[in-house]
Amino acid sequence: MKEEINEVVKRLVSARKVAVLTGAGISAESGIPTFRGKGGLWRNYNPTELATPDAFNKDPKLVWEFYNWRRQIISKASFNEAHRALARMEEMIPEFTLITQNVDGLHQLAGSKYIIELHGNIWEVKCTVCEGIYLDRSPDLGPMPRCRNCQGLLRPNVVWFGESLDYNILREAFEISGNSEVMFSIGTSGVVQPAASLTLEAKRHGAFLVEINPEPTPQTHIMDISFQNRAGEILPEIVNLMSCQIQT
């Protein structure tokens, strides 16, 4: 594994454009449950059935109960060593972009600055009437939160199953991936589209691909290097070595 880490560091030190794609696995190391992992059920409901426009239209109170539960869990979580290592990496790369499928905001808390949030942010709310969007980090917004401007019913400003991602955000993510010299895939299953295609886009344009995930994924075979480890173990080591080489 030492040789692989040294190779990744060598690529990073000489690279100008680096992209990173993160998924639920990096936040799982902070204790945030994933939809697809163990403990994925909430009150015997499958979250993938609750995080939909249809579920919200049918029973918004139930959906908000689920999201208030998630907000409470995330509000108690802290960014971990992997989040912090990526923030440090950003400081050493001329053009660094973090593309995340996560909605928890932990990358921002860790110090990352240039972030593309593919699936939105759980701390933002959107009015279903006036479509106003604003930040509210309250752990619990109550059973039926209302807009501060028009009193319309609020919803989490996240992309639900069955909804399309914002076209401009997705286009930027593909453009950055395609222009990257090195691209990381961290803590993501490699099956959720269209995010899973970002690494394919990077590969198509000649990027060096690095995967960090405890288990192999359907994309492991296209990676130049794949670490079957926790991101919190591998990333700090990579960044520490980067720092030493840049300083010397």
- Catalytic pick from 83, 107, 119, 221? 119
Report the b/e string of 135-149 with b at 16+ CB within 10 A: eeeeeebeeebebee
pLDDT beyond 60 at 223: yes
Task: Give me the architecture of the 34-76+120-158 domain, per CATH.
Answer: 2-Layer Sandwich (3.30)
Domain extent listing, the chain: 2-32+79-119+165-247, 34-76+120-158
Question: Catalytic residue at 205?
Answer: no
d(CA 193, CA 79): 26
What's the whole-model pTM score? 0.93
d(CA 39, CA 123): 22
Across the chain, what does the average pLDDT equal?
94
pLDDT band at 140 (very low <50, low <70, confident <90, very high): very high
- List pLDDT tens digits, range 176-189: 999 999 999 999 98
Q: Select the CATH number that applies to the domain covering 2-32+79-119+165-247 from these four: 3.40.50.1220, 3.30.70.260, 1.10.150.20, 3.50.50.60.
A: 3.40.50.1220
Q: What pLDDT, on the 0 to 100 scale, is given for residue 49?
A: 84
